[in-house]
Amino acid sequence: IVILLSSNTIAIPSELDRTSVQRLLEYLFLNCTYKNSLVMKSNLDLIKKSIELWNEPNNILPYNEINDLTEDKFNETLLKNMKNSFRTIYAAAAEVVGMLLNVKKLKGQSNERLLEQLSFILKWHSGQTIQDTYITCIYSLQKHYPEIVDKAYMKFYFENKKK
């Protein structure tokens, strides 16, 4: 992992390298869940950094149906982490979701299903007694996918105006 993170600017990936990096990301995602929230956040940050550094030169999506990590399973894991009670976990997961939305937009792939699933998670967060979780998720998402702010701003504005 250290070599992967440090060589992203000098390595020119071949098709075999892309497959290897994608398999490593799949492995990391399948094994990122941990009981200790600090370890789990560290795992998510490692995945985030790997995607940030290797996505642009490799145009990698972190799931591959060949190796049993389907897009739905991948999204389900990310969105489940967005419901975690620890801010460090749900903020990191939201940021990775924002990165994924951005990658899919750049590749011209449909975001509809992920956005629909995300809206359920955001609705759940907005229903919580503390609005901080909702705002944190929107903030983390917009770092890589700013379009989410347009969709969430009006809803947030009118809900707070009612109170």
With H, G, I as helix, E, B as strand and everything else as coil, classify residue 26: helix
Give the mean model confidence (pLDDT) for residues 66-81. 78
Domain ranges within the chain, ordered by starting residue: 13-162
User: What confidence tens digit (pLDDT) does each residue in 91-143 have?
Assistant: 888 988 998 888 888 888 888 888 899 988 888 887 777 778 888 888 999 99
Q: What CA–CA distance (Å, rounded) separates 139 from 48?
A: 16
> For residue 6, what pLDDT is reported?
65
The lowest-confidence range among 20-29, 133-142, 154-163 is: 154-163
What mean pLDDT, rounded, does the chain reach?
77
Contacts of 94 (CB under 8 A, 6+ apart): 82, 136, 137, 138, 140, 141
The pTM for the full model equals: 0.64
